[in-house]
Structure 1
Amino acid sequence: MTKTAPPVQKNQTIELTFEDITHEGDGVGKIDGYPLFVPYGLPGEKAEVKVVKVKKNFGFGRLIKVTEESEHRVTPPCDVFYQCGGCQLQHMSYEMQMDMKRNQVQNALKKIGHIDQVPVHPTIGMDDPWRYRNKVQIPVQSKDGKLITGFYRKRSHEIIDDMDHCIITDEVNDRMVEAVRANADRLGIPAYDEKNHRGILRHIMVRSGQATNQTMIVLVTRKEKVHGLDQLIKEITEANPHVKSIVQNINPDRTNVILGKKTKVLWGEKYIYDLIGDIKFAISAKSFYQVNPPQTKKLYDKALEYANLSGNETVIDAYCGIGTISLFLAQKAKKVYGVEVVPEAISDAKENAKLNNIDNTEFFVGQAEKVMPWWQAQGLDPDVIVVDPPRKGCDEALLQAMLEMKPKRIVYVSCNPSTLARDLRVLEDGGYETKEVQPVDMFPQTNHIEAVVRLELKVSN
C-alpha cells in the first residue's frame, strides 16, 4: 500500500480558508482534507499562511496576512499580545469567546462523554472582561545593568522588557510591581540570574483584595538576607497605605517553581482579606484563592442553585481548598464536610469558617477518595456531593466512592471540559443523569473555561 504524502510542504505559502477553531483558539483550515492549525485564524476568514511544520495527518502554519476578515476579529488592546503567551484570544470579540467556550464544553461532552442531549447554557461572561486578576507573579531579570520585570516571551525565559502593564490584571498590582522594581533597582538589589544561579530577587508577587482594597506584596528571593530590604519596605509602605502585608518567600533552589518552602512576614499582617458575596476570606501568601472574585461569585451561586438545598441536607465538598464553596453551601445546608489533601488549605478553611461565624462545617486533611469510604463506614449519608477537582479531574476511586454513597444530587465544578466529560460518563454509567451544564468565563481573553454541572440520581423502577 503506498503512503499518500501530505498535500503541503514545509515553508510553502498557501491560501487557506478557516472552517473551525480549536479549544486553544487556533484556526483550522483544510487543504484536500489535510488539516492545518494556525494561531490567530478565525472561522470564515481567508488568509495567506506559511506552512511551518508538516506531520503525517496534520500540519501547523503561521498567519502572514488575513485577506478576508471575520466580523469577530478585533484589534488586541494589549501591545505585546502576539509576543506574550498569557492571553490567547484578544484577537476575537468577547461574544465569539463566549460562544467558543460553550462549544468547547458541548463538544467535549459529545465526543468524550457521549452525552449530547443535555442543555449546555450560554456562557456567563463579564460585563467588563478586563483588569480582573487579583494576583500576579512577575519574574525579575537584569538588562543593561537595570532591573526589568514582565512576562516571558512565548516558549522562552526571556522577559518582554517593553511591557509595563498587563490589561487583565488589577491596576493596583501593576503599580505595585513597578514600585518594587523601581525601588529595588535604585537600592541595588540584584535580579536573580537563573543561568548562573546568582543574584537575589526572583519574582514579585502581588495579591489584592478587590472588595477591601488591601494589598499584599511577596518578594521571592534566592537568599534570606537581602541588603536594602528594610529601606525598600519603608519606601513602599509610606507611599502606599493600601499595602497591608509584605512577605518574603525564600527559594534557594535551581528550579522553575516560583515559590520556595520558607515564607516569613517582613512587615504588617500575615493575611489580607477579601469578600466573595457576603463571605470574608483570609488570604496568605500561599493560599489558593480564585483570581476573579466577581465571576467566582457567579460560579458558586450556580453551584448553590444546583445543590438545591432546603436547610436539612448533609453535604460533602470534595477538593474543598480553603473552604470557598463549603462556606457558600453552609449558608443553606444543615452540615457541610470538606476534605482536601493540602494541610495549609484546611487550616485556612477552618480560619475562614471562624472568620464568618459559620459553625456547621467540618474540614479534614486527606485524599477525598480515602476519607469518603471511611465517612461512609461511620454512617455518614450525604444528600449532596460537590466536587471541584484540579485539571486532571476526579480520581477514579473518588468517583466510585460517590457512586457507593448514592447522594440524591452531585454538583461537579470543572476547569477542564475533557476530564469533566470523562468523569460524567462514569457517573452516568453508575446511575446518575446529567441534567444541565452552565459554563462560566473565569478567565476572559484566555482559552480556559469553567463549568458547573447538575447531576441527579436516577430513580429505580
Structure 2
Amino acid sequence: MSLPVQKNDRITVHIEDLTHDGAGVAKVNGYPLFIVGALPGEMAEVHVLKTLKSYGFAKLIEVIKPSEHRVAPPCHVFDQCGGCQVQHLSYEGQLLWKQQMVKNAMTRIGKLPDVPVLPVKGMDNPWRYRNKSQIPFGLQDGRVVGGFYQTRSHEIADTDICIIQTEEADDILRELKKELGNLGIMPYDEKSHQGMLRHVVVRKGRATGEIMVVLITKKKKFKEKDEAVAAIKRILPQVTSIVQNVNEEKTNVIFGDKTITLWGKDVIEDLIGDVRFEISARSFYQVNPEQTEVLYQQALDYAQLTGGETVIDAYCGIGTISLFLAKQAKQVLGVEIVPQAIEDAKRNAEINGFTNTYFEAGPAEVVIPNWYKEGKTADVLVVDPPRKGCDEALLQTILEQKPKRVVYVSCNPGTLARDLRILEDGGYVTQEVQPVDMFPQTTHCEAVAWLELKK
C-alpha cells in the first residue's frame, strides 16, 4: 500500500496537536507527520524528510497561518538546546495545551472521558524557576564551551545564559568558562575519556538563598582544586557550599558515588511552605519549589485530613509530601526503595520536630502489605511514582487493602490515566484531576488525582 506522502514532497498541512516532546502533528489522509516548530491550529508548508510505515517526519518551511498563541522564543539557543520545547508557544497557550494533554490521556488511555480535568495551575512568572542547574563543559575546536545538551545529542549548545535557571547558575556558567583555561582544568571529553571537569551543578534554596556548587570530576585528586574553590568564591561571594563529586566511569550518567565537601557546609537548606529540608549534592528535591508548594498543597487538600487519619506515602523520597501530610494527620508512614532517601526523610522529620512519622526503605509493594499484616492500615494512601507510573503489584495492594481515599501525584499523564483505569476497575471513582505546571516552557505536566472508594 502506497503512503499518502513521499520523501521530499512539499505540501501544505494543518497542525492538529503536539507530541510529548513538542513537535507539531499533522495528518495527511490519516497519516501522521511530525514537524518540529509547528503549533496546533497552524497552516504550514512543510518538506517531507522521512517516511516510515505508520508515520513520517517533515521540516517546517513556512507558517502560512500562525497560531494565535505563537510568540518569538526569547532564548537565542532555543532551536538547538533540548531543555525547552515550547518557548514559541505563549504561556497561556502552554497552559491550555497541557490541560488538553491531560484530558486526552484520560479519554484515550484511561477511557475516562467524564473525569473532570481542571484548568492548569500555572506560574505568575514562568521564568527563572529552576533551583538546580546541571551544566556540561567541553571543548569545541580547542575552545572551552559550556551550556546545555542539544536535542537528542551530547553536543553542547554553547551559551552564557539560561532564562529558566537562576542568575547565579548563569554567573557560574559564564565566568567559569573564562577561568578554566587560566586554571589549567581541562573539560572532560566523553569520547576519549580524557579531561577532568565533567559537569558543574548549581543548587539554590529559594527561601533561604543558600547556594551549593558541585564540581563533578573524573578523578578525586586534581591539583587545581584550591584554585577552583577560590575562583567559585570570587564568582559567587554568596556561595555557602562547594562540593566535589567523583565519577570515574565511562558513562553519560552525571553523578558518581563519592562526594567530598571542599569548602563550607555539606548541605544547603530550603523551605517548602513552613517545612525545612536539607539538600545534599545528590538529594532528590523538586527543581521548582514555588510550584512544588502548589502541588503538595493540592495533594493535602485532596487528602482531606482531620487529624485522626493514618496516611501511607508510597514513593516518599526524602519525605517532602510526607511532612506536608504529617502537619494534619495522626500518623504518616513513608516507604521508598532508595535507602539514602529514607535516611534523608528521617533527618528532615527530625529537623522539623515531627514525631508522628515513620519511614522504611524497600519496595512499596512489599513493605505496605507487611504493614497491613502488622495492623498498620491506611485511611488515605498517597502515591508519587516515577514517570513509569505505579508498580502493578502496588496497584493490586491498594485494591486489596482498600484505603478509603487515594491521592495520586503524577509526572506523566499517560501512566496516570493507565493506573486510574486499573483503580477504577477495582472499585475506586476518580473525583477530579488537577494539573500543575512545574516546568514552564517544556512539554512536561504534573497532575494530582483524587480517588474515593465506592461506598
**TM-score by shorter chain over 0.5:** yes
What displacement does 1:169 show?
0.7
Structure 1: runs of 5 or more not aligned:
none
Structure 2: runs of 5 or more not aligned:
none
For the residues of structure 2 that align with 1:361 and 1:297, how far apart are their CA atoms? 20
For the residues of structure 2 that align with 1:179 and 1:309, how far apart are their CA atoms? 49
1:121 to 106, 118, 121: 118
Q: Is the 8 A contact 2:133 2:165 kept in 1?
A: yes
For the residues of structure 2 that align with 1:187 and 1:456, how far apart are their CA atoms? 60
What displacement does 1:234 show?
2.1
Q: Which amino acid aligns with 1:73?
A: R
Q: Which amino acid aligns with 1:337?
A: L
**Correspondence for 2:291:** 295
2:11 to 11, 14, 30: 14
**Correspondence for 2:341:** 345
Q: Is the 8 A contact 1:435 1:453 kept in 2?
A: yes
SS at match of 2:169: helix
Aligned residue pairs total: 455
2:74 to 54, 73, 77: 77
**Correspondence for 1:443:** 439
**Correspondence for 1:137:** 134
Query: Are residues 1:38 and 2:35 paired?
Result: yes
2:228 to 232, 245, 263: 232
* Residues 120-178 of structure 1: CA deviation (Å, up to 9, x unaligned): 100000001011000011111123444211112222222122x1111111111111233
Q: Which amino acid aligns with 1:200?
A: M
For the residues of structure 1 that align with 2:109 and 2:48, how far apart are their CA atoms? 30
**Correspondence for 2:162:** 166
For the residues of structure 1 that align with 2:211 and 2:264, how far apart are their CA atoms? 11
For the residues of structure 2 that align with 1:22 and 1:149, how far apart are their CA atoms? 29
* Residues 225-270 of structure 1: CA deviation (Å, up to 9, x unaligned): 1121102212322553321111111111111111111111111111
**Correspondence for 1:104:** 101
Query: Are residues 1:64 and 2:61 paired?
Result: yes
Q: Is the 8 A contact 2:326 2:354 kept in 1?
A: yes
For the residues of structure 2 that align with 1:74 and 1:247, how far apart are their CA atoms? 40
Query: Are residues 1:193 and 2:189 paired?
Result: yes
For the residues of structure 1 that align with 2:179 and 2:77, how far apart are their CA atoms? 25
Query: Are residues 1:406 and 2:402 paired?
Result: yes
For the residues of structure 1 that align with 2:442 and 2:31, how far apart are their CA atoms? 27
1:432 to 412, 424, 428: 428
For the residues of structure 2 that align with 1:265 and 1:50, how far apart are their CA atoms? 53
Per mean C-alpha deviation after superposition, the further-off stretch among 98-107 and 10-19 is 10-19
SS at match of 1:354: helix
SS at match of 1:241: coil
What displacement does 1:25 show?
2.5
TM-score normalised according to structure 2 size:
0.98
Distance 1:369 1:42, change over 3 A: same
TM-score normalised according to structure 1 size:
0.96
Q: Which amino acid aligns with 1:70?
A: S
SS at match of 1:151: strand
For the residues of structure 2 that align with 1:188 and 1:336, how far apart are their CA atoms? 51
Name the % identity: 60
Q: Is the 8 A contact 2:160 2:173 kept in 1?
A: no
**Correspondence for 2:180:** 184
What displacement does 1:290 show?
0.1
**Correspondence for 1:265:** 261
Q: Which amino acid aligns with 1:187?
A: L
